[in-house]
Structure 1
Amino acid sequence: MQENTRVAVLLPCYNEEITIGKVVRDFKAALPGADVYVYDNNSTDRTAEIATAEGAIVRKEPRQGKGNVIRAMFEDIDADVYVMADGDDTYPADAAPAMVAKILEGYDMVIGDRLSSTYFQENKRPFHNFGNRLVRGSINGLFGAHVTDIMTGYRAFSFGFVKTYPVLSRGFEIETEMTIHSLNNNLRLYEMPIQYRDRPAGSVSKLNTVGDGVKVMSTIFRMIREYKPLPFFGGLGSIIGIVGIILCGQVASEFWATGMVSRFPTLIGAVMLVIAGLLLIVAGIILDVMAKNDRKTFILEANRFAYLKRHLSNRHEIDRQ
């Protein structure tokens, strides 16, 4: 790592007094020159006090939810490389230098892959394991990707990613949103297997298996609708249209055999289904064009942002000389 590289460690926390001290110490040892930020999300215990005592930069975020905390971190903190982890001591800090090195090589986001190592052995919550597999299969299938760990909270980011990523989610679905955003915009991703460990005794998970699972799946549903509108609306329109065509065929065959149409309500409903299906397909085509234009706009904005960053860096170098 270069001497003038600014690294920020981001630790969103809510009631992590049992583990936060060790986590701060571990990251300070792994990344000696980094600034460790702990954002306290309305904790009712001594999380902020302990983190301050260990030398972390502690700030408050009153809007409840991990997504809100990440949004505040990304807005407030300027660095060349960002490392995001949890304050529950489930992620190894000694993997951080290698993640930082990959960002400096040119990757936009490095994903700490738990699922290729010890996650399924360490995690004692079977529904979480099932949820991880379901989310991974859904997103990889839709985007034609091969990301192993969609929902990991251990990631590293470039400055460009942090400043151009629109944080929309408010809760734990933020990691899923990050992955979908990266795949949709063809960003440079790198997966690095890490050794996951379950929470230590006395540390309580803030996850709600059913509630957070529903939020994650609703996020996937919403982002599929926004990022892949043609498969979404086109597929739905095709199903509805096919049902309408089948019903129209039944009425037509009856008319062919008897010369009479005895089921006018069925005929009217079938025609309406065919029209609705065609409208959905047309809407999917229009929205798909808009989504592609949004991706073009994102690329142009990212390029402009990268140019400005290089320009400012060059000016700082000249000023120092």
Structure 2
Amino acid sequence: MKNESSQPTVAVLLPCYNEEVTIGKVVRDFKRALPNADVYVYDNNSTDRTAEIATAEGAIVRKEPRQGKGNVIRAMFEDIDADVYVMADGDDTYPAESAPQMVEKVLEGYDMVIGDRLSSTYFQENKRPFHNVGNRVVRGSINGLFGAHVTDIMTGYRAFSFNFVKTYPVLSRGFEVETEMTIHSLNNNLKLYELPIQYRDRPEGSVSKLDTVGDGIRVMSTIFRMIREYKPLPFFGTLGVLIGLTGLGFCISVMIEFWQTGFVSRFPTLIGAVMLVVTGLLLFITGIILDVIAKNNRKTFIIESNRFAWLRRHIK
């Protein structure tokens, strides 16, 4: 997918919703940083002049009627072909001058380059304390589960390879899509690189579209769902062990009473305890079965990714 001068093609992806205050500067900055790149602005039902300003600045503007950042990214990944993709927000919080380094890392062979805000200025620039807490909670839970060391799980500034974009299934509809990308990459052992960037807060007059509580709940729901799907044995196994041990504890108390008196006076407790033990065993067995399926899914993903890469090389 090279152009006539055999240079890698680069696409800058800017999902936007009501960003007329900043979109003009963002497009100019990326055109300056990546002069040979195509800058795409996907307008997600904006009610202001976002699309008009982006067009005037030379961006390729397209409409996405399905509301939500995840839906916009899904459309971008489906529509646009390039060797390297750089994704940022239209709110002027991410430095375009870091984009060439991100592109270079993708060309070196990384599947996804993460613009790491948290190692630099995020906690000083971001004025929303609950967002800071949320980032720490999400980072700790995902790194702990996958044994990883990713610093910025939820950043919106990323660069991708062609193979990543065309094999990544975008399931989320909203802002939780970045968390989904990171979990997908860790689960499938993709090559990640974190590049520290200088984050800056939104300029005056620019309003965040994030709902701290609502989007936070959606992010945590996404983590819960993906842990259940990608790590079923720890999920169902832990739940099964806890329920089974609870039932076993009740069984032991009834058995002690039987040894002391020769009678079972708490039949409802005994029946409930046995049911808890059986439920715990079933959950543990379910975790084992789903874990085998999840491993087979990872094998299938690797095989399909290799086949996709082989076809792309030969089509070129």
Partner in structure 1 of residue 46 of structure 2:
43
Quick one: which of 119, 127, 136 aligns to 1:133? 136
Aligned partners of 1:244 and 1:112: how far apart in 2?
A: 48
RMSD: 0.9
Q: Is 1:26 matched with 2:26?
A: no
Q: Secondary structure at the match of 2:159?
A: strand
Structure 2 length normalisation: TM-score?
A: 0.98
User: What residue in structure 2 maps to residue 123 of structure 1?
Assistant: 126
Distance, in Å, in 1 between the alignment partners of 2:92 and 2:180 is 23
Tell me which residue corresponds to 2:66: 63
Deviation at 1:126, TM superposition (A): 0.2
Amino acid at match of 1:290: I
Partner of 1:88: helix, strand, or coil? coil
Distance in 2 separating the partners of 1:17 and 1:309: 38
Deviation at 1:4, TM superposition (A): 1.7
Aligned to 2:276: 273
For residues 250 and 182 of structure 1, the distance between their equivalents in structure 2, rounded to whole angstroms, comes to 47
Residue segments in structure 1 that go unaligned for 5+ positions in a row: 314-321
1:203 aligned residue: 206
Q: Which residue is 1:317 aligned to? A: none
Identify which of 60, 75, 79 aligns with 1:76.
79
- Of 263, 267, 278 in structure 1, the residue corresponding to residue 266 of structure 2 is 263
Within the candidate set 178, 181, 185, 1:178 is matched to: 181
Map 1:1-321 → 2, pairs under 5 A:
4-313=7-316
SS at match of 2:149: coil
SS class of match (1:146): coil
Runs of 4+ off more than 2 Å: none
Alpha-carbon distance in 1 for matches of 2:40, 2:69 = 14
Please list the CA deviations of residues 200-235 of structure 1 after superposition, one character each: whole Å capped at 9, or x if unmatched.
Answer: 000000000000000000000000000000000000
- Give the superposition deviation at 1:3: 5.1
Structure 1: distance between partners of 2:218 and 2:247: 33
Unaligned ranges ≥5, structure 2: none
Q: How many residues align?
A: 313
1: CA distance between counterparts of 2:222 and 2:19?
26
2:191 and 2:315 map into 1 onto residues whose CA distance is 23
* Matched letter for residue 182 of structure 1: S
Give 3-state SS (helix, strand or coil) of 1:99's partner: helix
Supply the AA of the counterpart residue of 2:120.
S
Distance in 1, matches of 2:139 and 2:299, equals: 26
Which string of whole-angstrom CA distances, capped at 9 and with x for unpartnered residues, describes residues 22-56 of structure 1?
Answer: 00000000000000000000000000000000000
The amino acid of 2:126's aligned partner reads: N
Find the residue that maps to 1:112 and give its secondary structure. Answer: strand
Give 3-state SS (helix, strand or coil) of 1:235's partner: helix
Q: Distance in 1 between matches of 2:7 and 2:105?
A: 17
Q: Per-residue displacement from partner, 1:170-202 (whole Å, max 9, x unpaired)? A: 000000000000000000000000000000000
| Matches of 1:199 and 1:4, distance apart in 2 | 34
- Summarize deviations over 1:119-161 as a string: whole Å, max 9, x none: 0000000000000000000000000000000000000000000
1:300 Cα offset (Å): 0.3
Percent of counterpart pairs with the same letter? 84
Letter of the 1:106 counterpart: G
The amino acid across from 2:179 in the alignment is T
Distance (Å, rounded) in 1 between the aligned partners of 2:97 and 2:307: 34
Give the structure 2 partner of residue 319 of structure 1. none
